[in-house]
Amino acid sequence: MDYAENDKQNIINFIQTQGGECNVSDIFNIESIEKLRIYPLIYRMKDAGILTITAFGEFGTPLKIKLIQ
């Protein structure tokens, strides 16, 4: 089983339930997603054209993301 792919799908599903846009802090509240994978997955999905980062925090951390699809 590919746990990263499973987490990626959980993130996408969550964003869709939020109307296509959400705060990254809300994703950290999802218990089924490994916390250490969230930021790398967000950047991989950004590079793949799945989502865009609409707000950044200190040191370039994503704060808000939006699905492109």
Number of domains in the chain: 1
Q: What is the CA radius of gyration of the chain?
A: 11
Give me the mean pLDDT over the 43-59 stretch: 96
In this structure, what CATH number is given to the domain that contains residue 45?
Answer: 1.10.10.10
DSSP string of the chain? --HHHHHHHHHHHHHHHTTSEEEHHHHTT-TTS-GGGHHHHHHHHHHTTSEEEEEE-GGG-EEEEEE--
14-26 confidence digits (pLDDT tens) = 999 999 999 999 9
Rounded to two decimals, the pTM is 0.91
Do the Cβ atoms of 26 and 18 come closer than 8 Å?
Answer: yes
Range of the domain at 62: 3-67
The partner residues of 66 in beta bridges, in order of sequence, read: 21, 52
